[in-house]
Amino acid sequence: MLKSSFKLSKFVLLICLMNFLFFHYPFFKYIFSNVDYTSFSGALLCFSMLILVVLANYFFFYLLFFVSKIIGKFFTILFFLINSIAVYFINSYSVIIDESMIGNILNTNFDESSSFFSFKLIIYLVCFGILPSIFIFKAKIEKITLKKFLINSGINLGLILLIVVANASNVLWIDKNSKVVGGLAMPWSYAVNTPLYYIHQAKKNQKEILLPDAKITNNEKSVVVLVIGESARSENFSLYGYSKNTNPLLSQTENVFSFNATSCATYTTAGVKCILEHENTSDLYEILPNYLNRNDVEVIWRTTNWGEPPVHIQNYKKREDLFVNCKGVGCDYDEVLLNGLKDEILNAKKNKILIVLHTSTSHGPTYSKKYPPEFEVFKPVCNSVEVANCSQNELINAYDNTIIYTDYILYNVIETLKEFPEYKSSMIYVSDHGESLGEKNLYMHGVPMSLAPKQQYEIPFIVWVSDGSKELKKNNALTQNHVFHSVLNFLSVDSPIYKEEMNIYK
């Protein structure tokens, strides 16, 4: 039987121990995997981090409950519920709840978020979130005097200070690993990084910085289709030497070139921003579609995805807009982006056209739901949202089928452009970031760049050019920023910020 009432210090200690036991396995797994705990300094660090987690949470919750039992219970229950969900994703997908991951969570649409739903998630929520919350809600807590609060708090802070001083020799390790350690500590990972995300977003989105005016240097009809991929890693494209034939159509198409490239980040919002900006920066400069639209280029944006910076053009269409007049099974997938594409070019009022297709084809965890049944070439496939429960072969098969479907979409873009011989045309395909498929026990993407495996940042950069339009440079290693300057070059847009060394065309 539970006690009818608790002293505040004992209740808060119990809450902290529950928080420690339920939600900090990934935290200490990381520390013990990256520290030589057989040495004195390593053992001291491991022990100190264990005590520090309890003490830091104790001070916070003790203060919260002293100020108000109602406020204390509200936030403690809220933290336990969120912690249970956060730890599910950490354990299932090896994510780190840092500032960039908070951005991913807050910007994820309903279709994507619903794809993560699983019975295992419900178990985590009930066992680690709801049941402890019922106990917290019903618990009776005795009042304490201000004097006792100050004494206990002083002892707590003194112990924290002592531990910090004792680990002076481990400062370099703590500094180097602070982003990951902070991203695994509950509830601090999201409690700190969420307001940081909003602060930084407010600074970024104050007002986009306009680029200098540009001018079009000729009247030749030119069109570029920029296809922004989602979670595509070059390692699984046969154009890059992959053993399985994931590019059966593009490999047989003339004037198709593939280049080694890396992304600026491992998550969508930063990756797409980098593709569309003239240089990699934390500032919000005028992005490519806005810039060209302002400088007399016809710009068309079609998307089944999300996460791009603000796009200020008239012809902006989402999945639901494209779906209206679409027919066939492909309309439920990224083929909907091709619906009416030919008419967009036919109805263009200007000689220079940029069309952006923002796809979602290879986004996990439900890779097998991202392509029509006829593209399930590699079998068996993983059909579970809990990708760690599938064999790596099943997971890779499902992912490879999304690449085959991407190959089909890109081939059809090229075939559409071939129907306009009066235009000089080019297609550029570049992914926002890569993807982990179980290597080193990592899944999907979003690991900080300083720690990310190559699978999360080595991306495909595939280019097609029409006969008689332009040739390509050798281009050994490209970045996402090459897109901006290359599109300017192909469309004959002269700008003061244009960089020839960032242009892929001769």
Whether residues 172 and 231 share a domain: the answer is: no
Mean pLDDT of 112-132: 84
Mean pLDDT of 51-58: 90
**How far apart are the two ends of the chain, measured CA to CA in Å?**
79
Q: Is the pLDDT assigned to residue 224 strictly greater than 90?
A: yes
Q: Decide if pLDDT at 307 tops 90.
A: no
For residue 29, is it within any domain?
Answer: yes
The CATH number of residue 398's host domain is 3.40.720.10
Contact between 38 and 1 (Cβ < 8 Å): no
**Of 172, 204, 236, which residue constitutes the final position of a domain?**
204
Residue 441 above 70 pLDDT? yes
Whether the pLDDT of residue 198 is over 90: the answer is no
Query: Structural domain of residue 190, as residue ranges?
Result: 8-204
pLDDT above 90 as % of the chain:
57
pTM of the predicted protein model: 0.72
Q: How far is CA 311 from CA 100, 323, 352, 411, 429, in A?
A: 21, 21, 18, 26, 19
pLDDT of residue 289: 96
The total number of structural domains in the chain stands at 2
Residues 425, 296 share a domain: yes
Q: List Cβ neighbours of 143 (8 Å cut-off, separation of 6 or more).
A: 8
- Residue 101 falls inside a structural domain: yes
Q: Are residues 372 and 323 in the same domain?
A: yes
Do 258 and 241 contact (CB within 8 A), yes or no? no
Residues above pLDDT 70, as percent of the chain: 95
Residue 343's contacts (CB-CB under 8 Å, 6 or more residues apart) are none
Q: For residue 37, is it within any domain?
A: yes
Are 281 and 198 part of one and the same domain?
no
- Are 277 and 166 found together in one domain? no
> What's residue 306's pLDDT?
84
pLDDT reported for residue 1? 43
What average pLDDT does range 333-353 have in this prediction?
A: 94
154 and 296, same domain (yes or no): no
Q: For residue 42, what pLDDT is reported?
A: 81
Q: Mean pLDDT, the chain, as a whole number? A: 89
